[in-house]
A and B are shown apart, each in its own frame.
Chain A
Amino acid sequence: MRNFLIRRALYAIPTLLGISIITFAIARLSPGDPIRLFTFGIKDFTQEDYLRLLHVYGLDKPIPLQYVDWISNAVRLNFGESLIYHREAGAMILERLPNTLQLAITALILQLAIGVPLGVIAALKRGSWADGAIRVFGVAGHAVPAFWLGQMLIILFAISLRWLPSQGMLTVGKDQMDLLDRLKHILLPAFVLALVGIANYSRILRTETLDVLGQDFIRTAHAKGLRERVVVYVHALRNSLIPVVTALGGILATLVGGALVIEQVFSWPGIGQFTFQAAIAKDYPIVQAGVMIASTLLVISYLLRDITYAIVDPRIKVS
């Protein structure tokens, strides 16, 4: 296992390096000049001012040299200073990362808490109206665009019914530790973010449970006279969950990616919304820090998935 971990960690280095080069190149070569962008229309801003700012931010150097400067600092976790905020970009991303993780983890819990029971119910009630309804829900969960659903839920629960807030993480003026208020704020964005996963898990669980229920050891369990509940929840479900558990590692990365849209809809102050706005403003250091930190998370989550996979199913070996 130790060799496996070391090898996988080493694989991550060229991956992250490649991502850094691609991100850097796309950001620098796409049309637009960040200094011109954030000074557009400023009174009395002169050509001399423009050249001064280009120099201050190191943007007057050739792009390969800019990359060398950047990567040599990035390996020491210094991603450069934001062109707009005048602060260290990595620190600004890390300030917002817990908010994104909070949303992603809540969504993950909702996916499991709703998706797993739905899948089991659909399998046990195969062919019934409940099975049909869950399958329709599964298809709808994939088909409905998150930004549209989010807006519809805001209109229903926040504007019309006034049950839940429409935006943010916490009511202004509330104590930061007010868990009930936080729960109210996270409910809608986490649900919308979780929806695709709920649909996925219910589908996977339904298929797996049906498969397991038809196997010999289940028949044996029945023959031994075990109660139905024990057969399903102790013997069948445990085996059905294997693919779900192995999928967990990768799902976190998917959730962090999906949070970009959800954070926009619900004004959730996470890295998705922040990096998106930085990309529009061509604030290179923020974009690069955001992409690198998210990529590192992704690499780690895939690593965790592989480890989980190896633990759950020892037949799988790393070649």
Chain B
Amino acid sequence: MRRLVAVLGAAMLVAVSCSSSATPGGGASPSAASTETPQQGGRVIEATISDIATMQPVLVNDTASGRITALLYDNLIQVDYKTGEPQPRLATFSVSSDSLKYTYTIDPKAVWSDGKPIIADDWLTGLKAVGKSKKTVRKSSFTNIQGFQEYSDGKATTIPGVSIDPSNPKKFTVTMAKVTCSAIIDNIGYVLPTQVFGKYVTDASKDEIDSAPENTAPTVVSGPFKLNEWRKGDQVILDKNPTYWQGAANLDQYVYKVVANQTAITNGLKTGEITFGTIQAKDLADVQTVSTVKIDKYQNLGYTFIGWNTASPTAIGLADKRVRQALAYGIDMDQVIKAVVFGEATKQVAHHVPVQWAYPSGIQLNQYTYDKAKAQSLLKDAGWTPGPDGILQNKDGKKFNLTISTNSGNTERETLATVAAEQYKQLGINAKAAPEAFQGLVTKLTTGDSTLEATIIGWSLGAEPDPYQIWHSSQIPDAAKNVQGFGFTFFKDPAMDKAIEEARNPSNGDCSIAARKKQYETFNQILNENQPYNFGYANNVLAVSQNSLQNFKPGSFSTVYNVYQWWVKK
């Protein structure tokens, strides 16, 4: 379905990947190794900073648990690790011309680890589990499936939007109540073994699925690995699933090891205690001196930005588009990237990142190349002129003060806030950095706290590029009505709303990448012009692995998609 790939995005990804697949110690490169016959056995150890919370996909809400469930349970479809385009995994799929029906056919070879075939009913079990669960955070992803909401509310015992082919238990169709372009990703859903979880989703079941013992000790899996042991707080040990339907993994074991922090990951990679992990840009030069590891770089699926509160009662200048544009011209982002992340990032001028197909590669966006004179001119046009003390002030004599908040403890963002404040001082703005605890900052952002003037934070994006939750005007928080949301810049634009809606629920039913991409071009153009964010930069992911690990080919969208093909060179 999504055949268009953002040309620029792909080009940049290739450029990044090619230039950086370094093997500092002259170790075997992945491409050289890929011609060799994989050796059987061995183990990989991946480090994680927090322990997993669950092995129940329906309840997953953290990166660590997501990693383990991806190794235990295969999904209906997967996304291409470089482009994010949907591809078959457990099932092939097709979409009706009106974008209302999604038909899936599960691979005839696909079996559970107990030998039973994986069938459509197993996907339905996953969907029912979402409906029954009170603790899942994913209910809303399925509300547009016909009858799901009624089932979830306990008003129905069946979901009419799901029909299983009576002649083929591996084939089923999902019917949407309205055109929902994100459904191709959302409907991946959860394929759970009915022979295990079926008893928690009977008509009489309530929310027993939330406390099922199999959530922490899965007995039947569909993925390349199965649980051996979970040593709480220390490690999760997975053994290979010998009956994996795509062929048993080359590795014997996959260990997910909990470590305290990023420094411990770097140390473990250097000593060989950890097989692969990601490091911070500040540690890159150090790790490059280690001969036993190789480094893969690729663009992160997310970006770090400065969000302007366009409705701030204290930094009133932020309401003016010219001022926000001046703040874009007035910061040397290329220099900032060098100073803050040692050059390991790409400047962003729009919401979507270059590796996403939604990236507006077909239009010319203002790059806001550093131009102090232009920034000063724009500020002057907006009525901000230097006062006797050099600080900008408006015609009422109100000074341009600007507090840039960010979450304390994140040294990268704290440095960015300090550097940004310094550069804005050069424009005559009385700017200062103000780190504060992440916990409090999140609440302030989502409740639309008016005391926030500018905030540095980051978004992690997904394979589905719908920006509704961040940029649609309905998502602007309203403290008076106790409405929370991520629209903490208070920026809204009717044309932008329409573009978001048309890419999300198109009135003509066209969910093709070409049609959606066009809407996202309009959307990104409006953002680029109005600058409610300074879009900052998208970091490079620095994935470090031992030279002995072969066929390890991580990308922006996935790391473990081909884990069953990894092998360890002895």
Contacts and interface: CB of A to CB of B under 8 A. Distances in A.
A115 B358 CA distance: 65
A50 interface: yes
A214 interface: no
Interface in B35-71: 43, 45, 50-51, 53-54, 59, 61-62
Interface string B471-494: 000000000000111100000000
A86 B211 contact: yes
B258 interface: yes
Interface stretch (B110-118, B268-276, B360-368): B268-276
Given A86-B54, A269-B234, A37 B257 contact: no
Interface in A135-168: 151, 154, 158-159, 162, 165-168
Among A36, A84, A267, the one with the most B-chain Cβ atoms within 10 Å of its Cβ is: A267
A39 B137 contact: yes
B439 interface: yes
Given A45-B140, A166-B271, A167-B267, A264 B261 contact: yes
Interface residues of B, number: 60
Interface string B241-285: 000000000000101011111011001101101000000000000
B271 A162 contact: yes
Given A53-B137, A95-B232, A166-B267, A265 B260 contact: yes
Interface string A34-55: 0011111111111111101100
A32 interface: yes
Contact of B264 (A48, A82, A167): A167
B273 A36 contact: no
Contact of B53 (A32, A49, A85, A99): A85
B216 interface: yes
A267 B439 contact: no
B484 A36 contact: yes
Interface string A70-90: 000000000000101111000
Interface stretch (A61-69, A232-240, A272-280): A272-280
B443 A31 contact: yes
Interface in B74-101: none
A40 B446 contact: yes
Contacts of B437: 31-32
A95 B259 CA distance: 17
Given A56-B135, A96-B232, A168 B464 contact: no
Interface residues of A, number: 57
Contacts of A41: 459-460, 486
Contacts of A177: none
Chain B: interface secondary structure? Answer: mixed
Contact of B273 (A31, A44, A92, A165): A165
B233 A274 contact: yes
A85 B54 contact: yes
A204 B114 CA distance: 64
Given A154-B267, A167-B267, A277-B50, A56 B258 contact: no
A50 to B, nearest CB: 7
A43 B53 contact: no
Given A166-B264, A169-B234, A42 B273 contact: no
Contacts of A53: 135, 137
A47 to B, nearest CB: 6
Nearest to B215: A86
Contacts of B137: 39, 42, 45, 49, 53
Among A44, A85, A165, A168, the one with the most B-chain Cβ atoms within 10 Å of its Cβ is: A44
A87 B232 CA distance: 12
Contacts of A168: 234-235, 257, 259, 273
B425 interface: no
A149 B210 CA distance: 44
Contacts of B258: 267, 269
Contacts of A92: 232
Nearest to A154: B267
Contact of A52 (B134, B231, B464): B134
B446 A36 contact: yes
Contact of A38 (B61, B237, B263, B444): B61
Among B43, B258, B459, the one with the most A-chain Cβ atoms within 10 Å of its Cβ is: B258
B139 interface: yes
Contact of B267 (A56, A159, A277): A159
A31 B439 contact: yes
B261 to A, nearest CB: 7
B440 interface: yes
Given A41-B486, A43-B464, A158 B271 contact: yes
B169 interface: no
Contacts of B233: 95-96, 99, 269-270, 273-274
B469 interface: yes
B4 interface: no
Contacts of B231: 269
Contacts of B237: 172
A99 B141 CA distance: 41
Contacts of A277: 50
22 contacts: A31-B437, A32-B437, A33-B446, A36-B442, A37-B438, A37-B442, A37-B443, A43-B466, A44-B140, A45-B140, A49-B137, A56-B135, A96-B233, A151-B263, A168-B235, A171-B273, A267-B258, A267-B261, A269-B231, A269-B258, A270-B233, A273-B260
Q: Which 4 pairs across A and B sit closest by C-beta, in order of nearness?
A: A32-B439, A31-B440, A269-B233, A44-B140
Interface of A: 30-33, 36-50, 52-53, 56, 82, 84-87, 92, 95-96, 99, 151, 154, 158-159, 162, 165-169, 171-173, 263-270, 273-274, 277, 280, 282
Given A32-B442, A43-B141, 17 more contacts: A30-B439, A31-B443, A44-B182, A45-B137, A45-B140, A49-B139, A82-B53, A86-B135, A86-B215, A159-B271, A167-B267, A167-B268, A169-B234, A267-B261, A273-B233, A277-B50, A280-B439
